[in-house]
Amino acid sequence: MIKKNEKLGMEFGRKLYSVRESYWIFYNGIRTIKYMIKCEKNNEISSIFIERVMLAVTEVNKCAICSYAHSKKALDAGMSNEEIQSMLSGIIDTIPSDEIAAVMFAQHYADSRGNPTREAWQRIVDVYGISRARGILGAIRTIMIGNTYGIPWSSFFNRFRGKPDPRSSLFYELSMILGGILIPVCFIHALISDLLGKPIISF
């Protein structure tokens, strides 16, 4: 028999990220966002490619505010409304063949709660090369930050309109909002890790 919380998970997305998980998601995002920016600047990855990756992650995490924001960005980048809606429904039939591996890795990354397998990462490196692979990872981790914090923040404000995220609670939302005081610590942690040359991904 399927329990109520399991039904919610299937209908609205996975269990929300904890405060502890959010710290590491922010830490990883800060460390890799520069690779996404660099790849886009050097035309190694197009803006529409980045939006497809981000929509794939958002589809897994079911963040309403990120779905709205990145649907608009995807439209501005040149994606059709039909493709956007398909991606947000988990359908990837319309994705260009050379981007499918990245989108599937993005889904795997989100589905594994930021803990992809070594084999999955190596495939991305083999397909795209290390520079583009890092850019893809940066895009994934950037939207992971947005999803992780976007859900509790939007749920908190929607709660006053009687429309909170059914996976959330007031206690959870306040915990995540107050957990934001750790962000400066996270920045310093990420900076020190970069200075020490620590790997950007581990298994």
Residue 73: the pLDDT is 87
Residue 144 near residue 60, CB atoms below 8 Å: no
**Model confidence, pTM:** 0.89
CA distances from 86 to 51, 52, 61, 77, 202 (A): 13, 11, 16, 16, 32
Residue 138: the pLDDT is 98
Query: What count of other Cβ atoms lies within 10 Å of the Cβ of residue 145?
Result: 18
Q: pLDDT per position in the chain (203 positions), as tens?
A: 334 444 444 444 568 999 999 999 999 999 999 999 999 999 999 999 999 999 999 999 998 888 888 888 888 888 888 888 888 887 778 889 999 999 999 999 999 999 999 999 999 999 999 999 999 999 999 999 999 999 999 999 999 999 999 999 999 999 999 988 999 999 999 999 999 999 999 98
**What six digits make up the tokens of 10?**
């299937």
**What six digits make up the tokens of 73?**
């960005």
The full set of domain ranges for the chain reads: 17-195
**What six digits make up the tokens of 180?**
């934001």
Question: How far, in Å, CA of 17 to CA of 177, rounded?
Answer: 13
Residue 149 near residue 21, CB atoms below 8 Å: no
Q: Which fold has domain 17-195?
A: AhpD-like (1.20.1290)
